[in-house]
Amino acid sequence: MADPFSILNVLGPYREPHEPALSYDYAIQRSSWPTAHAVRVKVSLADELDYLKTGVLGLSGGSPGQQLRMNQLLTKRIADRKLQIANEEGLFSQRLDVKIDPFTGPFAHLFPRLEAWMQANKAVLRQEVQQAVGI
């Protein structure tokens, strides 16, 4: 069961140095916690971002600046959704600081939920990219 939380701040994206991923750092607060806690959400470039960008949305082309802006927009949406899924799974209900890895390997069982969100929000995501980037 999901335990409500508030996002106080989000920083990123950051390039992960030893893996093909971008990450976002969230400062979250629950009403039962005396202080905010950090949650780092990693988004795999090949398994999550490229899957959404090319496999689901069918997006390609654009200038390097447009590609950068599109990747920032889509990775942020993926990270936000992964944070919600992790909360629903109770992955950071008791921990002080936590890292949510890409939904591959040990977390592969969570990828179908992320994929279902991608499919359900395909039109909204395309519209956001069109408005923000022009692709």
The model's pTM: 0.94
C-alpha gyration radius of the chain = 15
Q: What is the pLDDT of residue 1?
A: 56
What CA–CA distance (Å, rounded) separates 58 from 91? 32
What CA–CA distance (Å, rounded) separates 22 from 12? 8
Q: What is the pLDDT of residue 129?
A: 95
State the pLDDT confidence band at 132, using cuts at 50, 70 and 90. Answer: very high
Residue 63 CB coordination number (10 Å): 11
pLDDT tens-place string over residues 42-61:
999 999 999 999 999 999 88
Report the candidate in 47, 5, 33 with the shortest Cα–Cα distance to residue 96.
Answer: 33
What CA–CA distance (Å, rounded) separates 36 from 48? 28
What Å distances lie between residue 99 and 62, 81, 91, CA to CA? 32, 14, 9
The residues pairing with 29 across neighbouring beta strands, listed in sequence order, are 6
What percentage of the chain carries pLDDT values higher than 70? Answer: 96
pLDDT tens-place string over residues 65-95:
999 999 999 999 999 999 999 999 988 877 6
